[in-house]
Amino acid sequence: MSKGPPTLDSNDSEKLLDALLSNGHTCKKMRKAVRNHCMALLMLEAGLRVGELVSLRLCDLFFNTVPVRTIFIKPHMTKNKVEHSIPVSPRLAETLASFLQSLALETKHPIDFDVFAFRTSQGNLTTRQVERIICTAGWKALNRPVHPHILRHTFASRLMRITSSSTVQQLLGHKYLTSTQIYCHPNEDDKRHAIEEASAQPNQSQPTEQHPQQEPHQAAPVHPGPQPASQSGPQSASRW
């Protein structure tokens, strides 16, 4: 049986985000936790591929130290060279602001917004490092590995329930609509909601509608014998 790509339900998504944010016990680890939480939310609420994520520069996320309202993914950042844009949700905007604040605490110098957004002390984060971060958080929160692309799948599947497939196609940066239609399959949230809706319905058949009793139809009186012919000439063959 055909099924859609793996996704996270709402509860598992929140557990994963909490696990990423709760890893900080020192100032340095807390800043790293804020960074990792921000990366996960960019994939979960903006649908970014991991390759697009590590290609972001701070100027793609902030304008005059304020989180942008729309993230523009340029052709050179994508694997299919399709430019697309994603509006920033209020939750993501708040997370971006926290991320920038944590960056400001790392240095006394002005922030260089032309550098890559997600870095370590050794340099820019790679896709393999991001995969390892999300996978480790998956084991901690859900007792199973979570690949970053599952977060993108989750973003797309949620949107498919509330908007058109063509809108989802543009948000994901798919070149062909057929690539987007794999998200039409129900996920665990859909199935759980269906069961809850079914359980809430009374298990009774609806009574048949009672129609008010009508008076018996009285036939028009019948006049015996042939009617006399009209005196005005022959009758027309049809009244219509």
Domain range summary for the chain, segments of one domain joined by +: 10-190
* Catalytic residue numbers, as ranges: 49, 79, 149, 152, 174, 183
Architecture in CATH for domain 10-190:
Orthogonal Bundle (1.10)
> What is the per-residue pLDDT for 95?
97
Beta bridge partners of 87: 70
Give the type of residue at 72. F
Residuewise pLDDT in 10s, the chain (240 residues): 456 788 999 999 999 999 999 876 788 899 999 999 999 999 999 999 999 999 999 999 999 999 999 999 999 999 889 999 999 999 999 999 999 999 998 888 889 999 999 998 888 999 999 999 999 999 999 999 999 999 999 999 999 888 888 999 899 998 888 888 778 776 677 777 778 888 887 665 555 555 555 554 554 454 544 454 444 444 433 333
Q: What is the model's pLDDT at position 1?
A: 44
The angle at the Cα of 29, spanning 23 to 30, to the nearest 5 degrees, equals 75
- pLDDT on residue 239: 35
- For position 23, what pLDDT does the model report? 74
In Å, how far are 43, 69, 123 from 93, measured between CA atoms? 14, 8, 25
Question: Backbone phi, then psi, for 124, in 5-degree steps?
Answer: -75, 145
> What confidence score (pLDDT) does residue 198 get?
84
Residue with tokens 């942008």: 68
What is the model's pLDDT at position 213?
52
CA end-to-end span of the chain, whole Å?
61
Predicted confidence at residue 100, as pLDDT, reads 96
Place of tokens 């509330």: 162
